[in-house]
């Protein structure tokens, strides 16, 4: 459904002689099958949101290819071609408070993609909106149609965001941390809603998160990103049950686990912060925080190598 080849995104910062380049994504290869959920996991600055924004053409890529359902997205997609792309790929945003227009009613927000992509005839838009609202658990729909975002709770707003994304009848949905701003007790209901819809409609989905537990809950495959590159990718149960890359292992160990007491992992050294993307070191960007670091790590970056079936890792330990 989605095929990404050597995708690179470079930003420039500063002017004149102080101009610097920041590579947010470096030669990312990635594919998502029909009906598959791929989780994209990483810390802030790892490039996961930039990846989402280039795939949805909210940002132009610097180089590489993005192919959706066999069709190559032009680097400068405009007009009809861009609309066609947005018809296929929809995004669910992190912040349900900022991603809905406060001046538009829920009915108008969810109805817009239906009209704009000519999905149903004009006189059937309202019925289609009601069906969508029912589907995302905002019932009775007639009650929500005329409401405005400020009248809804965070969870309800996120359901509107999901209905809006579904309205375009996309082939691929990109959900960027869709529950991180919601109350803890309602996160699971939103994740379950996404899974139910994805399964019922056979959608492909990229689920972006920094939380390994929800990545594990949602996905068939997991890709771990660090400093703009994929460091490990493979089937979810395999990557989580037997993480190979030292960074994945670090993330795994750092994740909260209520079954243990803090003393059991007391020697978690201070592993520092993620690297500055404007001044990435040679070789592996994780080298400075890695306990297995060797001299070679700072010289050249290894390619992804297959360590188990469909499970690839970019680390010198496995070369």
Partner 1 sequence: MTPVLEISDLSIGYGWDESSALIAVRDVSLVVEAGEVLGIAGESGCGKSTLAMAATGLLEPPGRVLGGRIDYEGVDITSLSAEALREMRLKDISIVFQASMNALNPVMRIRAQFDDALRAHGVRSESERGRMAEEAFELVRVPPRFLEAYPHQLSGGMRQRALIALAIVMRPNLLVLDEPTTALDVVVQRSIIQSLSQLRRELGFAIVFITHDLSLLMEMADRVAIMYAGGIVEQGPARELYRSAGHPYTRALLTAFPPIEGERRRQDGLPGRPPDMRELPPGCPFAPRCPEVMDQCRTVTPPSVWRTEAHRVVCHLETNATHAEEEVAP
DSSP state of 304: P
Cβ 112 to partner 1 shortest distance, Å: 26
106-116 vs 125-135: helix axis angle to the nearest 10?
120
Identity of the residue, 103 or 279, whose beta carbon is nearer to partner 1 in the bound complex: 279
**268 CB-contact burial (10 Å; exposed 0-12 / middle 13-18 / buried 19+):** exposed
Cβ 214 to partner 1 shortest distance, Å: 7
**Whose CA is closest to 223, among 154, 92, 110, 314?**
314
Cβ 260 to partner 1 shortest distance, Å: 6
The residue ranges that bind partner 1 (CB under 8 A) are 43-44, 153, 155, 183-192, 195, 210-214, 216-217, 236-237, 240-241, 250-263, 265-266, 268-271, 273-274, 289
Q: In whole angstroms, what is the distance from residue 292 CA to residue 315 CA?
A: 10
Cβ 184 to partner 1 shortest distance, Å: 5
Identity of the residue, 38 or 66, whose beta carbon is nearer to partner 1 in the bound complex: 38
Tokens representing residue 199 in the block: 């399964």
| Angle formed at CA 255 by CA 254 and CA 260, multiple of 5 degrees | 90
Distances (CA, A) of 59 to 10, 24, 96, 178: 11, 12, 21, 20
Identity of the residue, 17 or 185, whose beta carbon is nearer to partner 1 in the bound complex: 185
Identity of the residue, 6 or 213, whose beta carbon is nearer to partner 1 in the bound complex: 213
Cβ 279 to partner 1 shortest distance, Å: 13
Identity of the residue, 127 or 308, whose beta carbon is nearer to partner 1 in the bound complex: 308
Phi, psi of 93 (to 5 degrees): -90, 160
**CB within 8 Å of 266: residues ≥ 6 apart:** none
Cβ 314 to partner 1 shortest distance, Å: 18
Identity of the residue, 69 or 183, whose beta carbon is nearer to partner 1 in the bound complex: 183
For residues 66, 69, 72, 75, the Cα torsion angle rounded to the nearest 10 degrees is -50
């Amino acid at each position: 459904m989605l095929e990404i080849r050597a995708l690179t995104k470079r930003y420039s910062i500063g002017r004149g002689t102080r101009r610097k380049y920041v590579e947010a994504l470096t030669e990312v290869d990635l594919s998502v099958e029909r009906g598959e959920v791929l989780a994209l996991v990483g810390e802030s600055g790892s490039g996961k949101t930039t990846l989402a924004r280039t795939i949805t053409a909210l940002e132009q890529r610097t180089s590489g290819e993005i192919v959706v359902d066999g069709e190559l997205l032009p680097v400068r997609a405009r007009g009809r071609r861009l609309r066609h792309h947005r018809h296929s790929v929809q995004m669910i945003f992190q912040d349900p408070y900022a991603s809905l227009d406060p001046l538009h009613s829920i009915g108008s927000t969810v109805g817009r993609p239906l009209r704009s992509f000519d999905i149903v005839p004009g006189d059937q838009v309202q019925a289609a909106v009601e069906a969508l609202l029912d589907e995302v658990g905002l019932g009775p729909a007639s009650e929500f149609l005329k409401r405005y975002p400020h009248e809804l709770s965070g969870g309800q707003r996120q359901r509107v965001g999901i209905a809006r994304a579904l309205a375009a009848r996309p082939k691929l949905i990109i959900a960027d941390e869709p529950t991180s701003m919601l109350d803890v007790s309602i996160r699971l209901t939103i994740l379950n809603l996404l899974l139910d819809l994805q399964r019922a409609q056979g959608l492909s989905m990229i689920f972006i998160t920094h939380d390994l537990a929800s990545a594990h809950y949602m996905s068939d495959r997991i890709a771990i990103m660090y400093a703009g590159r994929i460091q490990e990718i493979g089937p979810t149960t395999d990557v989580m049950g037997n993480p190979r890359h030292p960074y994945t292992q670090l993330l795994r160990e750092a994740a909260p686990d209520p079954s243990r007491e803090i003393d059991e992992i007391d020697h978690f050294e201070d592993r520092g912060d993620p690297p500055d993307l404007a001044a990435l070191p040679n070789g592996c960007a994780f080298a400075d925080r890695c306990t297995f670091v060797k001299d070679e790590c700072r010289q050249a970056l290894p390619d992804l190598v297959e360590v188990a079936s469909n499970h690839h890792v970019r680390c010198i330990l496995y070369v």
